[in-house]
Each structure stands twice: as C-alpha cells, then as structure tokens.
Structure 1
Amino acid sequence: MDARSSGAFEVTHRMVLGLALPMTFGFLTIPLLGITDTGVAGRLGDPAILAGLAIGSVLFDLIFATFNFLRASTTALVAQAWGRGDREEQEAVFWRALLLSLALGLGVAALSPFLLKAGLLLMAPEESAADATSHWFTIRVLSAPAGLANYAILGFLLGRGQARIGLLLQALINGINIVLSIFLGLTLQWGISGIAFATITGETIGALAGLAIILARFRHRNPLAVAGLLDRQRLMQLFSLNTDIMIRSFVLLAAFFLMTRIGTGFGPVTLAANAVLMNFFMIAGFWLDGLANAAETIIGRSIGAHWRPAFDRGLKLTGYWSLVLAIFTTLGLLAIGRPAIDFLTTVESVRVVAYDHLGWAAITAVSGCLAFLMDGVFIGATWSHAMRNRMILAFAGYCVALAVLVPLAGNTGLWISLNVFLILRGILLAVRVPALRDQIFRPAQ
C-alpha cells in the first residue's frame, strides 16, 4: 500500500498479510507479557499473589482498556482521511487523540485511590489477594498517561498502514517490560512491585519513541498550527465515535469482569487457574487482532476513497485469513497447553484445575474469530452506533448463559458462557454488514 495514494486501490492477499502480520506479532508480545507476569507471580510460591495479580489486571483493564477508543477511533479517522488524501486532517486527528489521551491518563492517575477501592469492593477478594492487588495497582496506575498516549500513537500508525513501525513499538514496549519483570521481580526479588515498575518503564520509553517517530514526518509539529484542529464538526464526530466505542469496550470488559468475579466465588485455586488460562484466550485474541486491524485500515481507506471493490475484497480476504489463523491457533494451544500451564505456575492444585478447562480456553480462537474481525470492520467504517448496540445484545445473551450454565456446570459453565458470548458478538455484527455497506456506497453506484 502506498501511503501517499488516494482513490481507487486494489486489495490483495499480500496487502492483507502485510498489514496484519506485523501487528499480529506485535500484539503477541502483549500476552507474552501477561504470561511472563503470571509466571513471575506464580514462582513467588503464594497462590494469593497470583490471584491478586489476576484481580489487579482485570481491574486495571476495566479502567484502562475502556479508553481503547483512543486507538480505535484514531485508526478509523486517519484511515478515512488517508483514503481522501487529506494529510492535514490526518495530523489533526493525531493531535486531538494525543492531547485527549494525556488528559485522561492524568485523570485516571489522580482518581486511582477511589478506583482501586471501588474495584476491590466489587471483586470482593480474600484479604491476602486484596493486599497483593492493592500493592501492584498503586504502582501500575502511574503508567496511565504514557499508556494512553501509546493508544493514540498506535492508532495513527495503523490508520496510515504503517504496521511495521507499530510492530517495532509494541516489541519495544513489551520487550522492555518482559525483561524488567523477570529481572526486578525474580532476580532482584522485588516481587509484585517489580512487575509493576517494569510496566511503567516500558510504557514510558515506548511513548517517547513513538512520538519522536511520528513528529519527524509531520508538516506541523506544533498542534496549534494544524488547520482544523478545533473544528467543531470534527470534534463532535470524534466525541460521538469515542463515546460509542467506549460504551462497547466497557460492556466487553464487564463481561470479563463478570467471569473473574464469578470465578472468585470458586476459591483462589480456581481463580488462579482461570488467570492462567486467560493468557491463552489473550494469545488467540491478539493474534486475531492483527487481522482486525488490517480490516480497520482497508475498510476505512475504502470508505474514505469511496471505492466499494476494495471494501468487498478486503472483507473477504480478512475473513478468510481470520478463520485460517483461528483454526491453527486453537490446534496450537491444545498441543502446547499442558506444558505452558506447567511453566506458568508451580502450584499443583492450580495446574489440575487448568488442565480440566484447557479445551474451552483453546477453542475461543475459533468461537471468537468472527467477532474480532467484525470489530475491525465496524471500527474502520465508523459504524459505532450499530457496534455498540450489538455488543449490548450479545452481553445480554452472555448473562443468560451464565445464569443457566454456571449453576449446572460450575467453572466449566463459566468457560462455555464465554464462548457463547464470542459467537453471539460475531453473528450479530455480521448480519448488519450488507445493509450498512449499501447505505455507504449506494450514492456512488
């Protein structure tokens, strides 16, 4: 893809993989980071520490990943501006997103004591796990401004189709984090504090590096010099898009919160086992997110250029590769699952529970592949209202599944419900694509 081009363009297998694979490998470093953190905590010899890290991670994701709209909306709006050949608007989108991300990050850090207290009240962990959660969270939240800035930076790069630079930044952030987590947590014996300080360092270095790379190519390095930065219509569009994506992200995280909260009721051993297995779900999700990001870029650019052949071809090819990758991911997780569990925890009781539910965690790649892809399509097309509403419907179905299956099958019912939720998300979104696509492209046909 030529980043300088606009108008009609051809979508090929090579283009799709060229966009998807760098970010697939880049996103893979995120669950590898989760695996490393889990492994470090699991080797500290106390299940309460591992459970505390799991609870803290969910709480942080519930707060932090709610702001994923910063990346998603930036990718969509930059891709559409790229399709129109509007370089000024691409820069304006970035500055709006970056300034908003820094403001939100500072707000999260300032409100962190209240957020932690509210989270622990909702999760209601045992005292030992709650202490570990509080210790980790208090340090980890200091990375919020840099972490949210990285959302804006990555969103801009993906919107421009610069997936390789995105890969390098993700590898830098998470590579530093992984190395320091092991060094600080185990070698220097800082324990759970070392895991948190490693994250702060990685996020900060990544944000500074990304900002330097982007600004080196800008016409205007002063945001106030960018035309249209404060354009009311553009700001309202950004606000509406961000609000819808934020609601959608919050509902998604609420689903994972429910899973952890219900798992807490099964005791610290089952909770710790689920935390180990969630790393497998994350691997599946982040692998598939690479193709979802390819869909965001291609769909967004095709709409900006008003070129339906690229939309249709992009949808077909990203769907094909999503399914192929999902099948291979599930097979791979089934093959290496038990050794991976053994690596992640030395607690035998946790291992036994994790073995029993390995299959349900591995199959999430297949059950969720359509949902991940459709998220990319709807974000790239800025169909945020429809995406929000369909997520709420899928969440309602998930709650019904939990109410029926958990009393019948316990923790197994919990994992089955997660798969039901993923399937519902994908189907509910996919059935809306034809009508929404026709609305977008009909005037030009």
Structure 2
Amino acid sequence: MEDWTVTVGQATTSARQRARRHDREIIALAVPAFGALVAEPLFVMADSAIVGHLGTPQLAGLGVAAALLATAVSVFVFLAYATTAAVSRRVGAGELGAAIRQGMDGIWLALVLGATVAGLLLAAAPALVGLFGASPAAAPHATTYLRISALGIPAMLVVLAATGVLRGLQDTRTPLYVAVGGFAANAALNLALVYGAGLGIAGSAWGTVIAQNAMAAAYLAVVVRGARRHRASLRPDPAGIRACARAGVPLLVRTLSLRAVLMTATAVAARLGDTDIAAHQIVLTLWSLLAFALDAIAIAGQAIIGRCLGAADPEGARAACRRMVQWGIASGVVLGALVVAARPLFVPLFTSDAAVRDALLPALLVVALGQPVAGVVFVLDGVLMGAGDGSYLAWAMLLVLAVFAPVALLVPHLGGGLTALWWAMTLMMTVRMTTLWLRARSGRWLVTGAVRA
C-alpha cells in the first residue's frame, strides 16, 4: 500500500510538472503572438485616423481600398500556418538547417504569389473599386490607394511566410518586435508624407508600402542569418516551392470557407435593415478582437504540436493539446465575462443611436456566451494546423459552411433579427468545435516524423 501511495504521488507530481512546463511554454509563445496580432490591425486604424482628416471622400476611398487589400492578403494566411507546421516539425526532429530551408521555400512561394496578386490589382484596381460601389467622389481616392498599396503586397506575403518560419522556430518575440516597429514606422511615415509632403491619400499608401517592405527586410535579415549559421541554401527550389503550395491548398480552402461564413453573415445582416447592419458591424469588430486573443493560443499550439510530432513524441502532443484546450476554455470564460461587464463602457464608444444599442446588446450577450466554445475551436484549429492536418480542416470547414449558410439565410424569414443571426454564428462555432473535437479525439492527426507523410 505504501509503495502504491508513493507511485500515485509521484505520478501526480509529474503531471503537475508537465502542466506547469506547458503553461510556461504557452505563455512564452502566446503573449508575444497576441501583441503581434493586435499590431497588424493598428496599421489600418492609423491610416484611417490620418486620412480621415483629409475629408470624407478620402476616408471612404480608404475604406474600400483597405477592404480589397485585406481580402487579397488574408486568403494567403496559409503561408504563415503551413510554414509554421512544416518548420516546427523539422525543429522537433533536430534538423534546424532543413527547417530553415523549408521556411525559405515558403518565402519564395510568397514572393511568387505576391508579385502575381500585385500585378492583378494594378491592372484591375478601377474595376474592383467600381464593383465595391464606391461613390464618384471616393472612387479616385480608392483607386490611387489600391494601386500604390499593391506594390507592398509581395512584402506583406513575405511577412506572413517569414512569421511562420520564426513561429516554427519557437520564436514569437521577433515578430512582435517587427510588428511594433512596423506600426511606429507606418504612423510616422503617414504623417510625414500625407501632411508634411502634402501627398494626401497617396502619401498614406506610400507610407504603408515603405513600412511593409522594411518589415519584410527585417524578417529576411533574421532568416538569412539563421540560414548561414546552419548552412541552409537560400536559392529557390522549385520542388520545395511546389510542395509548399500543395500543403497550402487545403488551408486556402479552409480560409475561403471561413470568409464565406463571415460574408454570408454580413449579407444577412444587411437584409435586416440599416440598424441591424450597423449593430452587426460593431459586434463583428468585437468578435474579431476577441479572436486575436484566442488565436494567440492557437499559434502557440501550432508551434508546440509540430515540434512534438517532429520529435516523435505523440504523448507530449496529446498532453500539450489537453492543456491548451483548458487554456482555451478558461480564456473564453474570462473574455465572455469581460464582454458582459464592460458593455456600459465600450458600447457608447461605437454608437449613440438608441436603436442600434437596442439591437446590439442582446447580440453581445450571445457572443459572450459563445466565447468558451470559441476558445476550444481556436485551440483545436491550431493543434490540427500544427499537425499538418490541413485536408481535414478544409473538409470540416466546408461542412460548417454548408450547415451555417441555410440557417443564416432563414433568419430574415423566421424573425429574431440580429440576435437570431448571432445565435446562428454560435451554432456555426459549435459545429466547428464538434468536428475539431472528434478529430482530436480520434488521434489520426498524431503523425510523427520530420515530414508529415
């Protein structure tokens, strides 16, 4: 009996030690990642604040161009996710040189895609602005901003890929420093070029292009230094670039499906009326901000899971997954409580319209209740990305879209307004959680080795 007690005590102590080790690692990776994630939207906020003083047509033009740019760049977020998974596996296997070489393949792919998208935007800018319904006064400003900013798209995609390289190397601090530096440079350049040089909205676009290229250069300097240290080739490898593209396709499908969900929700809100679409935009903005906090844990999951599987440690991957799910649930509960408690403080910042507030408040309660579910979704999404399980994520997200779209489209006919729409969004997240949980529980994602077979 005494031996049994000692054994149980040792096992409990060992489990606690593992949990504390995972906690330290999650915090070390997630906190800087959160800072970098939040810094990125500040680019647009700074541009909006500076351009807004030029006039309403300029600000409206910026809004249209920024939406087009965000769409053009966000669909390629797989450059970060797929690269993180591939590089972290190599790190876990102890193959640092090969890890950096694989990261370079992702960066070369980013340059190819960036040059292609930039060329398309330069040629199609007026037509795209017209499709977005920009007014005659705003359209010239939107076209100017979009064409100049297109020159920065290769750098933006390089930043995504290089961020994935560093995350895979278990480094989320450098992306934080680069993001903060880029934000500061962007704000200073915008002020100098918009007002000091008198370039107007064109100055804002040039400031952002310069800042984005400076960020890409900073990332490349770090990666090149690592490549030289570990004698990894920097030359483009066509086979490696094609492999990166193939690995990214399922994640591209996943991202496009998620974008379709959000676009469907916005389209439905627009059909509900001006009051509901205004309130929806506020709720969606808050929901996206909360997602940054939860996505930081997911990024830690990508790096940790990939490394564990690369080191042929499936039990370590399972233990890390369990601990991160606990973090996701706890973070969701805290964020949900903050939404409820802080409603009287932040709602007046967004609107003074009583009708919008009336539509907004019950929808916010639905968002708050759904945060623990969102916490699990983001964590498991990151875990499966880190495992390189992109094909499953693509099919699962297509299923989620197939369930969500008809439910959301029924909202205007069945009634319930914006609150009903956000219950549909909560249903969407619950379906996502179910698909991800079933996959995580199955263990089929636990494929070990430096390269996922």
TM-score, length of structure 2 as denominator length:
0.81
Q: Is the 8 A contact 1:215 1:221 kept in 2?
A: no
Partner Cα distance (1:132, 1:352) in 2: 32
Give the residue type in structure 2 aligned to 1:353. V
* Percent identity between the two aligned chains: 23
Q: Which runs of structure 2 are paired with 1:91-110 in the superposition (5 Å)? A: 91-110=100-119
Residue 404 of structure 2 is matched in structure 1 by 398
Post-superposition CA distance 1:244-292 (Å, at most 9, x none)? 1111111122222333444555677765654444332222111111110
| Pair 352,193 (structure 1): closer, same or farther in 2 beyond 3 Å | farther
Inter-CA distance 410–344: structure 2 relative to 1 (3 Å threshold): closer
Contact 1:31 1:279 in 2 (8 A): no
Larger relative CO (CA 8 A, sep 6+): 1 or 2? Answer: 1
Distance (Å, rounded) in 2 between the aligned partners of 1:306 and 1:386:
21
Q: How far did 1:296 drift?
A: 0.4
Where 1:218 maps in the other structure, the secondary structure is: helix
- Read off the aligned partner of 2:25 and give its amino acid letter: M
Q: Which moved more, 1:418-427 or 1:264-273?
A: 264-273
| C-alpha displacement of 1:417 | 3.2
Larger Rg: 2
Does residue 360 (structure 1) correspond to residue 366 (structure 2)? The answer is: no
| Alpha-carbon distance in structure 2 between the residues aligned to 1:185 and 1:335 | 40
Matched, 1:302 2:312: no
**2:372 counterpart of 1:327:** no
Partner of 1:21: 31
Aligned pair partner of 1:165 in 174, 178, 181: 174
Where do residues 34-433 of structure 1 align in structure 2 (5 Å cutoff)?
34-37=44-47, 46=56, 53-113=62-122, 116=125, 119=128, 123-124=132-133, 133-180=142-189, 193=202, 195-219=204-228, 224=233, 230=237, 232=239, 237-264=243-270, 274-336=280-342, 339-340=345-346, 342-343=348-349, 348-349=352-353, 353=356, 356-357=359-360, 360=363, 363=368, 365-407=371-413, 408-433=415-440
Q: Give the aligned residue type for 1:83.
A: G
- Matched residues in 1 for 2:138 and 2:424: separation? 26
Give the total of aligned pairs. 427
Cα distance, 1:412–1:23 mapped onto 2, change above 3 Å: same
Equivalent residue number for residue 4 of structure 1? none
Note closer, same or farther for the CA distance 1:441–1:139 as it changes in structure 2 (3 Å cut).
closer
- Residues 37 and 405 (structure 1 numbering): CA distance in 2 closer, same or farther, change over 3 Å? farther
Offset, 1:404: 1.5
Q: Partner residue of 1:440? A: 447
Whole-angstrom distance in 2 between the partners of 1:127 and 1:339:
38
- Contact kept, 8 Å, 1:84 with 1:305, in 2: the verdict is yes
- The 2-side partners of 1:132 and 1:273 are apart by 27
For the aligned residue pairs, the C-alpha RMSD in angstroms reads: 3.6
Residue 128 of structure 1: how far off its partner (Å): 5.9
Deviation of 1:136 after TM superposition, in Å, equals 3.7
Q: Which amino acid aligns with 1:88?
A: G
Q: Contact between 1:31 and 1:283, CA under 8 Å: does it hold in 2?
A: no
Structure-2 separation of matches of 1:100 and 1:399 = 33
Per-residue deviation at 1:158?
Answer: 0.2
Tell me how far 1:154 sits from its aligned partner. 0.4
User: Where does the alignment leave 5 or more consecutive residues of structure 1 unmatched?
Assistant: 1-8
Gaps of 5+ in 2: 1-17
- For residues 191 and 281 of structure 2, what CA distance do their matches in structure 1 show? 19
Which letter does structure 2 place at the counterpart of 1:357?
Answer: L
Give 1:5's aligned residue.
Answer: none
Structure 2 counterpart of 1:205, which letter?
A: A
